[in-house]
């Protein structure tokens, strides 16, 4: 177990270089088992979830070479399709090996995946999609997948699940015929995976829309690809900088369209930024005022499937709202347990009304005070860290290793930007 000790009051200032998208690189790592040739990925974030996925791949016989932020994977010597149950329990994305292992190697045994406890995260859509392609699936103490050659199918998902879209997309690349996935997720990380698969020889069209068409091919080959910047990490550091009264320059900040989706919600919290090429400039913004919706109505910030505001930024924006003048309603529609962390913010002095498990009203600004906190999940942990940086006095965040699952070297990078934070293992 680890904890952070934070002395609040220091602005987060400087130049921040984002790492690759966590939610893109994890399925990209899984895609290596679709070919016997090397897959080379650049800009890989060195976070705990990536490390566990690499352990999982090595445990089934994939050769893994990690150098700085570049990883080379080769599954030519694959020795088993049964995953280690202890490693599966550490990450939810272990399920992403079901599709590619079944498509390329005829089956897989995957034990119940772990991940953040932010509500029920069902696997039904994964099973529906893989069964539609011809896989036989049994579920007892493990999920067992078995298939001969897969055959294309026209699928209609009942939810735009990101991981189910990625799983079925990888499997469909090797299915005979043309598959379609309607109501597919179209987040930037899904698009990134699809572009990698096409570089590997897949034939995927409709990328960036909710209708993906996959013309199956006989084999895939190796490829080299650079993972796009993590817009969730970018948004988290923007929130940290603005909430503490700092300014930030973010080189290679990502695609303009991706940042535009984020900017809609941030602008309601009084946050503005400009672009200089691919650089994002976030100036110091004191005396921010929450901007009302049309008719001077209390603004509502709600998450949803892309291109709605991403759920993973909800927690940090709630903290940002506590440091902004005005009232805002936050509506978390994706996960029923995401909002429970606000109790910790209220203990720090935040003026928050929790209406129900999905909605909170934040009235700001309030002066937060240092407190002892426990991180329940990745994004709530980052939100608590930002709150601690804003607070008067010292805060302690326990269970800090949870934050490491999504943010690389968080204490070192925040310290470089001016935070007073120490890690104790």
- Alpha carbons 128 and 354: distance in angstroms, whole number: 36
For the domain bounded by 3-18+229-424, which CATH number is listed?
Answer: 3.65.10.10
Q: Name 218's Cβ contacts closer than 8 Å, sequence gap at least 6.
A: 174
**Fold match between domain 3-18+229-424 and domain 22-226:** yes
116 is catalytic: yes
- Alpha carbons 328 and 318: distance in angstroms, whole number: 9
User: Where in the chain are the domains?
Assistant: 3-18+229-424, 22-226
Dihedral sign (CA 181, 185, 108, 101): positive
Structure token digits, residue 354: 């929790």
Residues 239-295: tens digit of each pLDDT: 999 999 999 999 999 888 899 999 999 999 999 999 998 899 999 999 999 999 999
Q: What is the structure's pLDDT at 121?
A: 58
Q: What is the structure's pLDDT at 119?
A: 40
Dihedral sign (CA 78, 80, 82, 87): negative
CATH 3.65.10.10, domain 22-226, yes or no: yes
The pTM of this model reads: 0.94
- Alpha carbons 94 and 256: distance in angstroms, whole number: 31
In this prediction, the residues of the chain whose per-residue pLDDT falls under 70 are 114-121
Active-site residue (options: 49, 116, 303, 377): 116
């Amino acid at each position: 177990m680890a904890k952070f000790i934070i002395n609040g009051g220091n602005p987060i200032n400087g130049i921040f270089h984002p790492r690759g998208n966590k939610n893109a690189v994890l399925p990209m790592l899984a895609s290596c088992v679709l070919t016997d040739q090397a897959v080379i990925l650049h800009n890989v974030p060195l976070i705990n979830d990536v490390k566990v996925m690499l352990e999982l791949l090595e445990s089934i016989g994939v050769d893994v070479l990690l150098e700085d932020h570049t990883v080379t994977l080769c599954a030519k010597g694959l020795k088993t399709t049964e995953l280690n149950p202890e490693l599966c329990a550490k990450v939810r994305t272990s399920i992403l090996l079901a599709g590619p292992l079944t498509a390329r190697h005829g089956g897989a045994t995957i034990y119940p995946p772990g991940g953040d406890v932010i509500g029920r995260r069902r696997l039904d859509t994964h099973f529906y999609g893989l069964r539609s392609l011809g896989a036989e699936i049994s579920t007892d103490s493990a999920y067992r997948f078995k298939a001969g050659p897969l055959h294309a199918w026209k699928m209609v998902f009942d939810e735009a699940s990101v991981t189910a879209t990625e799983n079925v997309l990888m499997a469909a690349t090797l299915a005979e015929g043309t598959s379609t996935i309607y109501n597919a997720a179209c987040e930037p990380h899904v698009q990134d995976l699809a572009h990698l698969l096409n570089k590997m020889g897949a034939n995927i069209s409709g990328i960036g829309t909710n209708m993906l068409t996959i013309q199956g091919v006989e084999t895939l080959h190796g490829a080299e690809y650079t993972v796009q910047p993590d817009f969730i990490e970018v948004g988290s550091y923007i929130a940290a900088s603005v909430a503490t009264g700092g300014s930030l320059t973010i080189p290679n900040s990502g695609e303009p369209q991706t940042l535009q989706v984020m900017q809609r919600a941030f602008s309601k919290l009084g946050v503005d930024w400009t672009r200089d090429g691919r650089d994002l400039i976030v100036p110091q913004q004191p005396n921010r005022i929450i901007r009302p919706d049309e008719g001077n109505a209390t603004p509502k910030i709600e998450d949803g499937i892309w291109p709605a505001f991403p759920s993973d930024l909800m927690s940090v924006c709630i903290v940002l709202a506590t440091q902004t003048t005005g009232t805002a309603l936050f509506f978390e529609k994706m996960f029923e347990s995401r909002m429970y962390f606000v109790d910790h913010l209220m203990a720090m002095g935040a003026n928050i009304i929790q209406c129900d498990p999905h909605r909170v009203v934040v009235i700001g600004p309030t002066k937060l005070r240092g407190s002892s906190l426990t991180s329940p999940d990745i994004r709530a942990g980052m939100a608590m860290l930002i709150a601690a940086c804003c607070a008067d006095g010292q805060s302690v965040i326990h269970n800090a290793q949870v934050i490491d699952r999504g943010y690389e070297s968080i204490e070192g990078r925040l310290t470089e930007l001016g935070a007073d934070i120490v890690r104790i293992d």
